[in-house]
């Protein structure tokens, strides 16, 4: 019986670890995305960092990443930045991979 309990606890630890990794990766992706979007809109320096924090906060509005997409798209439209929906979503996917790589590299350091 102890073996079953140990296995169950192991699964719970792995699930918690995986969820934490997912959260950290998504937050990192959103920061990178915010910095990229700021650059596209001509925002630099502290204002770019502040914008990246806004993008991170936007992800807390609802489950999934549509809230982040809508924020970037609306801000681009307001500033006259011409990026298609596909280009924004592609950048989001690319930066998710980059964020995961950065977090994994930090874990090995």
Distance CA 106, CA 109 (A): 5
- Residue 59 DSSP label: T
Distance CA 50, CA 44 (A): 10
Q: What does the block give as tokens for 72?
A: 């970037």
Q: What is the mean pLDDT of residues 4-32?
A: 82
Does the pLDDT value for residue 106 go beyond 80? Answer: yes
Tell me, what's the pLDDT at 1? Answer: 57
The predicted-structure confidence for 48-90, as pLDDT tens digits, reads as follows 999 999 999 998 888 889 999 999 999 999 999 999 999 999 9
Class of residue 9 by CB neighbours under 10 A (exposed 0-12, middle 13-18, buried 19+): exposed
Question: Where does the pLDDT of residue 29 fall: very low under 50, low under 70, confident under 90, or very high at 90 and above?
Answer: very high
Instruction: Tell me the DSSP string of 23-56.
Output: HHHHHHHHHHHHHHHHHHTT--HHHHHHHHHHHH
């Amino acid at each position: 019986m102890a073996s079953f309990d140990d296995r169950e606890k192991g699964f719970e630890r792995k699930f918690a670890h995986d969820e934490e990794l997912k959260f950290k990766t998504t937050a990192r992706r959103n920061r990178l995305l915010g910095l990229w979007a700021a650059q596209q809109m001509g925002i630099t320096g502290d204002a770019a960092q502040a914008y990246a924090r806004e993008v991170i906060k936007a992800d807390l509005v609802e489950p999934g990443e549509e809230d982040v997409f809508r924020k970037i798209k609306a801000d681009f439209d307001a500033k006259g930045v011409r990026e298609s929906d596909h280009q924004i979503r592609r950048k989001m996917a690319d930066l998710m991979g980059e964020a995961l790589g950065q977090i994994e590299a930090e874990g090995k350091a």
